[in-house]
Amino acid sequence: MKLPYLYIKIILVAFAFLCMTSCEDKDLNETSSRTKVALREAGNQLLLRKLDSSSLILPIKEITSNTYKISFDKPISFEPNDIVTVIDSSLNLANLSKNYRVEVVQCADGEVAYSYQIDVEEEQTIIPCAGRNLPEACYTIQIKFLDIVPSSTFRKKHIPFLLLFGIFLFIGFKYWFRRKLEPVSEEKNSNYSSIGSFQFYPEQHKLVKSATEISLSKKECELLEIFVANPNQVIKRDELTKKVWEDNGVFVGRSLDTYISKLRKILKDDNAVRITNVHGVGYKLEVD
């Protein structure tokens, strides 16, 4: 009876998926309309910040289902800070995606004069120096939403995706069922390092203190793992940023200091453990 029941579950999930995607066009049209309104308001606010009440905002163009373009009928100059602030405010008011990339493109040659990327994950946000004003010229502003899949691409991969979904669901269920039958390995659960009164499980991204589990983010775990391997030793800032960020994308501003602060708050319950700042050099995990 178990296998037929599993197949029924797969069919029901696939059917539900098809029902949800049947409403996709309507949802996309609604999102597109709200996006255009929000971007037109962003263009209006940019003009008002330049005390320009005569220039017109041309119709907002939807280049693809996840990319839009703001155009103006006259040359205009921009302050990058204004672009970042105004677009973020307009998109938030319209309750739109918070993962997007903005490019200010020169009409004359199509080159990107200024760009930045916003992401809900702080370490993925990239905002270059915004203090240099863009001179008056013809520009368009292109906004690409990074978590929206173009509908045409989705349609082409619709059926294969469903098939793969069913296969992976079946394999995943079998794997889960088999794992439930396996005895819990004490060796796995004992793979931890002691930090004062804490037990640090790097593979599970968690700290345990008095039977209380504290979840750690990936980067918090990576930083703490480096400190645990070098207790009471000064670790240079450059070494920390290289090991944690260099191979995983762009290092943004004061990300290291932010994560160090988070670790300090987590470890503050144990007076025998602390992360200290060695001015001009780096940080040290002190364990009494």
Report d(CA 48, CA 32) in Å as an integer: 24
Looking at residue 238, what is its pLDDT? 86
Looking at residue 187, what is its pLDDT? 43
Looking at residue 53, what is its pLDDT? 85
**Dihedral in degrees, nearest 10, Cα atoms 162, 163, 164, 167:** 120
Looking at residue 268, what is its pLDDT? 87
Looking at residue 15, what is its pLDDT? 63
Query: Which two structure tokens, joined as six digits, stand for 62?
Result: 């939807």
Q: What residues of the chain score a pLDDT lower than 70? A: 1-28, 130-131, 149-162, 164-166, 168-169, 172-190, 247-253
Report d(CA 47, CA 50) in Å as an integer: 5
| The model's pTM | 0.45
Looking at residue 250, what is its pLDDT? 56
Report d(CA 267, CA 22) in Å as an integer: 50
Report d(CA 134, CA 106) in Å as an integer: 10
Pair 139, 113: CB distance under 8 Å: yes
Looking at residue 194, what is its pLDDT? 85
Pair 87, 138: CB distance under 8 Å: no
Looking at residue 185, what is its pLDDT? 44
Report d(CA 115, CA 80) in Å as an integer: 9
Write out pLDDT tens, residues 189-203. 557 888 888 888 888
Q: Is 146 exposed, middle or buried (0-12, 13-18, 19+ CB in 10 A)?
A: middle
Looking at residue 177, what is its pLDDT? 63
Give me the residues paired with residue 118 across strands: 100
Query: Which two structure tokens, joined as six digits, stand for 164?
Result: 């793969």
